Amino acid sequence: MAYHLKSRIELCGVSQTFSQNAQQVQLFQDLTLTIAQGHSYAITGPSGSGKSSLLMLLSGLAQPSTGQGYWLENDSRRPLAGLAKEIGYIFQQFHLLPELTALHNVALPLKLRGVKHAEQLAKSWLDKVGLGHRLQHKPAQLSGGEQQRTAIARALVFSPKFIFADEPTGNLDSQNAQDIADLLFACCEEQGAGLVIVTHSELLAARAEQIFNLAQGHCQLRQSKLQEVYRA
């Protein structure tokens, strides 16, 4: 495993609401849950239940309406906002920069951190995700599966402690979806990262160790019955 000290993320009594047509709409209330580095999780539930919002809260990219979120590591508790440099986030719509090649899209977060040999590292990750032959292609020249692979390489290139993926297979055909799922779980197992996936796919959710099911404002935790099958 690539990690030594395991980090954890905790949400304590969080609720999330938003305004719509001058009314307050509550997505969920009083949720308390923990995710740990080195483990995999799926967030499931009907459309509009708040799955993507919960993912944003866990990653520290959004703040809850009420309650608190913490990042725990090495006996210290810190605000989740401080986790930003330790996460990789895979957006449902990829969010690749259209003017940059695949190589430069993946290298950009490394360059922003001042990492030396950014393009060399980016190339190694594009090789890992099967895009070594598409380095100089821009997003418009890539298929949906290839764009998703580029987004995954970008999220994993700096060995984050946690990977957050919002519907990573939602826009892909069944073969590409299978390949992307295999890639995500394999990379995260090798790097010892925590993996949290929002998905409508029961098959994909079953590959996670734990499943958080959101419905009617509440969250039910269940163990994955099929996870050991995929590990075999």
Q: What is the pLDDT of residues 66-110, one digit of tens each?
A: 999 999 988 789 889 888 888 999 988 889 999 999 999 999 999
Mean pLDDT for 193-203 is 94
The CATH number of whichever domain residue 156 belongs to comes to 3.40.50.300
**For residue 214, is it within any domain?**
yes
CB 70 within 8 A of CB 10: yes
Residues 6+ apart with CB under 8 A from 59: 80, 83, 87, 89, 162, 164, 196
Asked whether residue 7 is domain-assigned, the answer is no
User: Quick one: pLDDT at residue 138?
Assistant: 97
- C-beta of residue 25 within 8 angstroms of C-beta of residue 211: no
Residue 28 lies in a domain: no
Phi, psi of 211 (to 5 degrees): -125, 125
- Residue 57's SS3 state is helix
Q: Which two tokens stand for residue 40?
A: 């995999």
Tens of pLDDT, residue by residue over 15-41, are 999 887 878 888 999 999 999 999 999
User: Considering the domain boundaries, does residue 102 fall inside one?
Assistant: yes
Q: How confident is the model at residue 2 (pLDDT cuts 50, 70, 90)?
A: very low
CA distances from 216 to 67, 180, 229 (A): 19, 30, 31
* 71 domain-assigned: no
* Per-residue pLDDT at 1 exceeds 80: no
Is residue 199 in some structural domain? yes
Pairing of strands 194-198, 162-166: parallel
pLDDT of residue 175: 85
- What pLDDT shows up at residue 104? 97
Report if residue 180 sits inside a domain. yes
116: domain range?
39-59+84-231
Mean pLDDT on 139-153 = 92
Please state at what angle helix 144-156 crosses helix 118-128, rounded to 10 degrees.
Answer: 130
Domain count within the chain: 1
